[in-house]
Amino acid sequence: MKIAHFSDLHYSPENLDEADRCFAFAVDDALNRCMDVAIISGDSTDHRLDAHAPALNRLAKNIHRLTLRMPVLMLQGTFSHEPPGTLRNFALMGTNHPVFIAERVQQVSLLDGQFFESAGPVFNEGELASVLKLGADVVFTCLPTVNKGQLAAAVGAKDAATGLEAVLGDYLAAAGRINQQLRAAGIRTVGVSHGTVNGCTTEHGVTMAGFDHEFSLGALFEAECDAFMLGHIHKTQQWERGGRVVAYPGSIGRFHYGEEGDKGYLMWDVEAGDARAELVPTPSRQTICVDFDGPPDMETLAAIAADANDKFVRVRWQVDEEHRQSVDRDAIATLFARSAGLKVEARILPVVRSRSQGISLEATVDRKIERWAEHANVDAAPLVERFQLLESGFVEAIAAAVLAGLEAEPATADESGLTADIPVSEVQADPVGTLDDLAMPDATVEVTQAVQTSWLDSDLFAA
């Protein structure tokens, strides 16, 4: 039996072009290969869609096309992507073949193009006897997304976070006992579910390891299914044990930057006791991701832009806060003007200033200045000298010393008899360096005897 396994279509207004291009290609390919059954293992939509949304209409058309040639089984995916009840309308779109919507935990047999579902989570004795007697082309063990609220009510809120894997493992073991009997009778068995396998890899290369994932590989193989078809993880991957295979097809298209590997659907060949899966790549969009530790290198970007026509490009960089204006975003946009899309992401590193270590432990201000000078890599002696002078000297003495320094270089008169400007650089530094600290490179100061006399005679100076 040839089974076309699609997953994570994520139809939405934002993803419409990518999702429909890739899924339409996959549907055409499955029809051309004369597949026997189509499986969609969750997340057909990306979020709640209005009835008049073009994305919903395009998805419905492709489901309708599949039903012209083969039965279709659609599994309930993540509730935030597929609100409960969303898939029920697709059951009305079957033409030559039906569309079965798996919204609850159950087993479903397919015989002569018709689906027959169990009343409970697995076939009871009567239902199993009927399937074994009449036969079936394939039996599906359906495990849609589990409502964790219902799980918490059943096992308690304390155990709900980590107890999901154990609960699902118990169900898969129970289904495995049924599937063993079916496989012994020569009936194909297929599991269909939506969730995370502990230890799988995401489309960004991250290993999913923890206690809150739905499945372990051991539990999935205990279901005794010839093929176990999964959804939810966007990277294709598979595991094999004794001829039986567990696999993700990954998402049908590339919906995020930085996703690794090809996108597509899985073409399964399933027999009792043996299964094989092969990825059929779809024409997903090509993306280029460029990351810089500092400001972007325009020469590097120019070289990349030469081969970025009709591709989606993301450029990321990080710069210090004071250099954030040094990056020319318009120039980057011009380089990639012929790309299908450009996304720029700048990470601004804030300037963090911290107190010099150990200053608060010093007992005197002199030692605090010396400690600061150590961290700032400057000479502490002039600073300490000036501080001591400010701390112990009298205002009159400091001012007199400043004026004495000025009088040592008297102003020179020009031909008009007026005093000439004396550059600050030519004035002898006073003992406390007051003029050196205040002077600007090209500033000048006019020093005249009259001004000096007015300072000395004024009450303000004496004060």
Domain ranges of the chain: 2-281, 287-349, 393-463
Q: Bigger pLDDT: 132 or 356?
A: 132
pLDDT higher than 80, residue 2? yes
* H helices present in 205-271, as ranges: 217-222
Q: What is 2-281's CATH topology?
A: Purple Acid Phosphatase; chain A, domain 2 (3.60.21)
pLDDT higher than 70, residue 450? no
Position 410 scores a pLDDT of 58
Position 326 scores a pLDDT of 83
Q: How far is CA 44 from CA 23, 26, 97, 339, in A?
A: 10, 14, 19, 28
Taking residues 167-193, what's their average pLDDT? 93
d(CA 39, CA 192): 8
Taking residues 8-16, what's their average pLDDT? 95
- Residue written as token pair 């993306």: 287
pLDDT higher than 60, residue 339? yes
pLDDT, tens only, 379-395: 989 888 888 888 877 77
Position 25 scores a pLDDT of 97
pTM for this structure?
Answer: 0.72
Q: Number of helices and strands (H, E) in the chain? A: 14, 18
Q: How far is CA 376 from CA 234, 379, 383, in A?
A: 52, 9, 13
pLDDT higher than 50, residue 20? yes
